[in-house]
Each structure stands twice: as C-alpha cells, then as structure tokens.
Amino acid sequence: MAFGIYIHIPYCLSKCRYCDFYSAGHSGGVPDEYVRAVVRQLESEQLPRPDTLYFGGGTPSLLSAEQLERMVRAARPLPDAEVTVEANPETLSPALLEGFLRAGANRLSLGVQTAFDDSLRRLGRPHTAAQSREALRMARQAGFANISGDIMMALPYYSQAEFDATLELLEEGGACHISAYLLKIEPGTAFGRHPPAGLPDEDETADLYLYAAEQLERHGFAQYEISNFARPGRRSRHNLLYWNCEDYRGIGPAAHSCMRGVRTAWPACTADFIAGRAAETVTGECTGEDFVMLQLRLNDGLDLASLKQKYGLELQAEKFRFVEQCVRGGLATWKNGRLCLTPRGMLVQNAILCQLLDFD
Ligand code: SF4
C-alpha cells in the first residue's frame, strides 16, 4: 500500500473568479506562523514516511524555498518519493525554482489554464500566457524534468483553437503531464454570483472534451483518468493514491484525509489551524461505492476481483446486463477483467454510476 501526505497552502495573490478552493487572496507570501503550524502538526503525528508528498493550494509557490524545505524535512518523504509543488506562473523565478529543487521538490504542477490572454483576464488569473511560457522555460532550465500543466476548457467563447494553442504552449514548454478540466461554475464564487456570458452549452462542452482527449492522445499524452493525461511513466503517483483508495493524510485548513478507511476533514479556518485549536471531523467511511466511483474515473477501470476482496461486493446479473448495454453503446469496455469507461462513457459517468451503485 502506498501512502501520501497532502499539505494545503491557503494563500493566493488574488482570488480567481471561478475558484472555490479554500484560500485567502491578497497574500504576498506565506506567513511563517503557518509553516510552523504545519511542521508542528507533522511532528506531532507518527505518520509513515510517504511515497508521495503534495503541496497544493492556494498557491504553494508563494512559499520561500526555505519554508518548503522545513515542511519537506518534517514530512520525511521516502528517498524515491514524488514531491509535487503546485505553482502559478507569475510567482516563479530561477532562484525560487532552484531552491524548490534543493528543498526536495521533484515535480512541478503549473496553473497555465489557457494560452489566450483575454480568457486569463476573464478568469481573473493574475498572469499572461507569456508568463506561463517563461515559467516553463525557467522550470526546465532549473532542472525540473517532471512538469505538469493545467488546462481549463469550456471557458466563455471557447474554441478548439484555444485548446490547440494551450496544448502547444505546454508541449513546447516540456510538460509531460496535463490535467485538462472543464470550467464548472460553483456557487459562492464570483462566477457563481455573476455567471459570465459566452459559455458553451452541454453538447458543445461534450464535443470539446472529446476533441481534447483525442488531441492529447495524438500528441503522446495517454489518458489515464477522466481529466488526466501523461507521457509514459509520468502519471501523478499522488493523485493515483486517491483514485485507488489508498491512505493519505491531509494537513492544513480544509484538507481531507482518508486513513484506514475513515475520512476526516480539517475545518476551513486558517487562524484556528495556526492557533492549534482546529478540530478535525469525521466525514464518513471509504465504502465499496466510493471504490467503484473512484476506480471508474481511471482508464485502467474497476477491478471486480478487488471489489469483492476488499468490500465483499459483486455485480449482480442485472448490473452485468446494464454493463453489457454500455459496452455495446461504446460507453464502456472490458480490459483483462476490468470494467473501463471510454471517453464517451466518462462524459456520462454519473448516469452510469446511478445504475451501478445500488448494491441492495
Ligand atoms: S490561484 Fe488557484 S487556488 Fe488561488 S484563487 Fe486562483 S484557482 Fe484558486
């Protein structure tokens, strides 16, 4: 069993209009009292040495290299661990990137989103496409070989040309992993309060997703999860922990954990976390239904033998008939005893799950 640690850095330069992650905008850096609180928490727990360590946010690239180094040291990753830092293009410099590498980071996940500056402005992103290009160049030059880039699709007035330009930017910049997400309008965000004009409808969004999946494959990024594509050997080991229902420990406000089948979450309050008065709550158990849901996100699909062995659950004849319908309709396929959704099946994953996740 692999084990991972996630550390949340709840600070951003400004708040993007679509973002519902827990973070404070208008932060020029990460207060040292926050780093001390993370280190204190890590040192107070007897956690195993992790196979993966992930700094997410928020904007972890607002950390100094020295702050990152203290948290990496406290987390004690294994010698061959994957250590990822999420970064925003406008926050990077050669010195910071070299410092991150020296601190133990070996994977960079860059929030590029789009190569069109008009779209970046509309999203409220505080950087340009030129800054993304420069950030990729600096990261490679500093010595990062494992670079991931985020693409956000189905933006207002989105076109295949915008996707193509963004893929080209990332490919030329040396990214070997791409996370390609569809814009979702979340309540409580600026976009939720004032939805932007020009959003594609459901059919256009589905077409964009299928187009993106096809182009990414053509360019050598094999799909391995609904939104994730990688060159050979470059899948995100940390994110695979989540989808394979393995143990992970989250540290920081709003961070989630799943340890030995129990899910917990920290309250979304940075001040309480810093003061050491935040109390985690149990949010549920990791069930067979979670396993089915998470495994069907993966191109490798759901292993029915594991479902039976881990959770004592089996698909009944009626479910098999439904699965066979999906296979005939091009929504699913069988690979070595594993049930896998095709890209078209992934688009209607929720509807498929509704039929499958009824084990009574
Ligand atoms: S930089 Fe990331 S975490 Fe921060 S506001 Fe923008 S999307 Fe949210």
Q: Is there a domain that residue 286 lies in?
A: no
Distance of CA 342 from the midpoint of ligand 1 (Å): 30
283 is a domain residue:
no
pLDDT at 152: 98
> Could you read off the pLDDT of 143-169 as tens digits, one per residue?
999 999 999 999 999 999 999 999 999
Same domain, 53 and 191: yes
Residue 360 has a pLDDT of 54
Question: Does residue 23 lie in a domain region?
Answer: yes
SS (H, E, C) the chain: CCEEEEEEECECCCCCCCCCCCCECCCCCCCHHHHHHHHHHHHHCCCCCCCEEEEEECCHHHCCHHHHHHHHHHHCCCCCCEEEEEECHHHCCHHHHHHHHHHCCCEEEEEEECCCHHHHHHHCCCCCHHHHHHHHHHHHHHCCCCEEEEEEECCCCCCHHHHHHHHHHHHHCCCCEEEEEECCCCCCCHHHHCCCCCCCCHHHHHHHHHHHHHHHHHCCCEEEECCEEECCCCCCHHHHHHHCCCEEEEECCCCEEEECCEEEECCCCHHHHHHCCCCCEEEEECCHHHHHHHHCCECCCEEHHHHHHHHCCCCCHHHHHHHHHHHHCCCEEEECCEEEECHHHHHCHHHHHHHHCCCC
181 lines ligand 1 (CB under 6 A): no
pLDDT score at 132: 98
How many domains does the chain contain in total? 2
pLDDT at residue number 109: 98
Same domain? 234 vs 311: no
Q: Which atom of ligand 1 is nearest to the CA of 12?
A: 4
Q: Look over the chain and give the mean of its residue pLDDT values, rounded to a whole number.
A: 96
Residue-wise pLDDT for 308-324, tens only, equals 998 898 888 888 899 99
Among 241, 262, 293, the domain-final residue is 241
Final residue of a structural domain among 224, 241, 258? 241
Q: Residue for token digits 């709840």?
A: 10
Q: Is 271 exposed, middle or buried (0-12, 13-18, 19+ CB in 10 A)?
A: exposed
Same domain, 198 and 311: no
Residue 270 lies in a domain: no
Q: How far, in Å, is the centroid of ligand 1 from the Cα of 108?
A: 16
**In terms of domains, do 184 and 93 share one?**
yes
Q: Are residues 208 and 320 in the same domain?
A: no
Residue 173 inside a domain? The answer is yes
State the closest ligand 1 atom to the C-alpha of 86, by its place in the atom list counted from 1. Answer: 2
39, 187: one domain: yes
CA-nearest residue, atom 7 of ligand 1: 19
pLDDT of residue 314: 86
pLDDT, position 280: 97
- By alpha-carbon position, which residue is closest to atom 8 of ligand 1? 19
User: Residue 182 maps to which CATH number?
Assistant: 3.20.20.70
Inside any domain, residue 282: no
Pocket test for ligand 1, best of 8, 13, 14, 15 (most atoms within 8 A of CB): 15
| 45 shares a domain with 175 | yes
> Does the Cβ of 23 fall within 6 Å of ligand 1?
yes
Q: Is the pLDDT of residue 185 over 70?
A: yes
Tokens found for residue 252: 């920081």
- Per residue in 186-242, pLDDT (tens digit) is 999 999 999 999 999 999 999 999 999 999 999 999 999 999 999 999 999 999 999
Segments forming the whole domain that contains residue 145 = 3-241
206 and 339 part of one domain: no
Question: Residue 7's CB: how many other CB atoms inside 10 A?
Answer: 27
- 57 in ligand 1 pocket by Cβ < 6 Å? yes
Domain boundary at 241, 259, 291, which? 241
Reading the block at residue 93, the tokens are: 């410099």
Looking at the structure, tell me whether residues 52 and 132 fall in a common domain.
yes
pLDDT average, residue stretch 117-145: 98
307 pLDDT higher than 70: yes
Which pLDDT tens digit goes with each residue over 19-44?
999 999 888 899 999 999 999 999 99
Residue nearest to atom 5 of ligand 1 (CA): 15
Q: Are residues 40 and 170 in the same domain?
A: yes
Claim to verify: residue 201 and residue 80 sit in the same structural domain: yes
Decide: 91 in ligand 1 pocket, CB within 6 A: no
Amino acid letter for position 13: L
Q: What is the pTM of this model?
A: 0.96
Q: Is 58 in the pocket of ligand 1 (CB under 6 A)?
A: yes
In a domain, 191, yes or no: yes
Both 191 and 329 in a single domain? no
Query: Does ligand 1 lie within 6 Å of residue 88's CB atom?
Result: yes
* Within a domain: 267: no
